[in-house]
Amino acid sequence: MTQWWRGGVIYQIYPRSFFDTSDDGVGDLDGIVSKLDYVAGLGVDGVWLSPFFRSPMADFGYDVADYRDVDPLFGSLADFDALIAAGRRSKLKVVIDQVYSHTSNQHAWFRESRQSRDNPKADWYVWADAKDDGSPPNNWISLFGGQAWSWDTRRRQYYMHNFLSEQPDLNFHNPQVRAAILDVARFWLDRGVDGFRLDVANFYYCDRLLRDNPPKRAGGGFARPYLHQRHLHDRSQPENLAFMEALRALVDQYEDRMTVAEIGSDSYIQRSIEYASPGRLHTAYNFMLLENGPLTASLIRNAFEEWTCGKAWPCWSFSNHDVVRARTRWGGEDASDDFATLLLGVLMCLRGTIFLYQGEELGLPQAKVPFERLRDPEGIRFWPDGLGRDGCRTPMPWRADAPNAGFSKAEPWLPVDPAHARLAVDRQSGDEASILNKTRRFIGFRGRHRALRLGDIAFLEAPEPILAFTRTQEDESLLCVFNLGRDPVRYDLPGADFRDLGYGLPARLEAKSLLLPGYGGAVLERAK
């Protein structure tokens, strides 16, 4: 096996917002196919597609109504097969999202389950009786606010949902459910996908006894109810790991496929290591670098130095479809293009598999979406304290002067931020100094150096805001140094006789030191 994913770069596509060929304001599979040459031109190894399955779109595809079909909004199964074939021609692997924790309440399984307490699928979801006073069976909270339980009048029971009430949780304690989900995975593997990104992979099982979660600390004070609890019983159950092993065994029956878990947990790194350990999934990513800030050398160093298990392969991303884009989250609304470029330069030197979110290669900031245009149910519920996920999901800007930045001829499902126009693909493609072209060079540089793709990482002592580490693989050892601040700094080199490999960030190598302007950086090699 080639293990193409190990140290590779995978480009995340959010299909609704990538490119629209049907002129309905929503991106589609044909749109992805038409832009695969652009993606391949970045130098990435593959793409990860967010959900495109049949869905009522209460949570924009993360509420699946049919695991084995494409929603007509995006195309058809034939269109997906064409995408797989186009990926092969472009030498791009295709990884797809799989949402196994829950389904839509419109899924045939749930429609049958809610009919009675004794039908063939009665136990396929997490159902529970009310307490004597009619209240929910325990104190579990939904991530989107409110109780994690909704009442069903026909069964006269509550059903559990970690997310929206339209997203009932499957009962993985039922072996029939586990078998059905493995059949879903087999369906897509047979269709030619190269791997799975497993949505909320540690949420599949809940405590059989439905015990209350304890409070996180006295006094609360958290912005959202979900954060008030220690989630000991509604996620990360030990049975979950056994299912990961079963899924891995299935995937290993196919050549050169991969699995990556999304882990939602307070124990960011510990849980990721559990899921990426040998015999389970190939890798796992968490939200340590997606939710926390400000950006410091210590933040990045701590994330890596907590990853103490050498047999568990990590993966990292700075942005995705669920969080404020890194340029804005870490740099503020006035973050410069130089800061956006630095983030990409750092990301492509890190140890692990790298996920690059669409538009990140352009340096897109978080889009501003007015309240009346919000579509994200989480964003609407918690507005104005949190504007939700819409600002990172707005359409990809392809042509600066075209209507809707070239994304669609129709009004898009989310508005295009005018600030994105100057960063459109057509504006950047012909400019060698653009963020886009620097990203292409960073990815190409990573691909040419085994130490960056596969090597060990060791951090060097350096004062903030300097981030310094070595990447070593066999006889290649590289020194990576970045200035995370806006003011110039000088870094004293650990020894002499280094040569600058021309990574693409501003820096000046002197006899025994490296002069780094604000947001500068360099990759050095000892002179031979």
Which active-site residues does the annotation give?
199, 262
Strands 93-98 and 195-198 come out as parallel
d(CA 51, CA 169): 17
CB 414 within 8 A of CB 15: no
From residue 287, alpha-carbon distances to 10, 166, 303, 327, 437 in Å are 17, 25, 10, 16, 28
Which residues partner with 479 through β-bridges?
470, 524
Q: Tell me 427's DSSP state.
A: H
Identify the DSSP state of 102.
Answer: B
CA-based R_g, the chain, Å: 23
Q: Which helix (H) or strand (E) holds 283?
A: strand 283-285
C-alpha pair distances (Å), 289 with each of 78, 194, 283, 443, 481: 37, 26, 16, 20, 19
Type of residue at 464 = E
Nearest residue to 48 (alpha-carbon basis) of 355, 425, 318: 355
Would you say 396 and 407 are in contact if contact means Cβ atoms under 8 Å apart? yes
3-state secondary structure at position 489: strand
**163 contact partners, CB below 8 Å, separation of at least 6:** 59, 62, 102, 142, 143, 144
Distance of CA 224 to the CA centre of its chain: 22
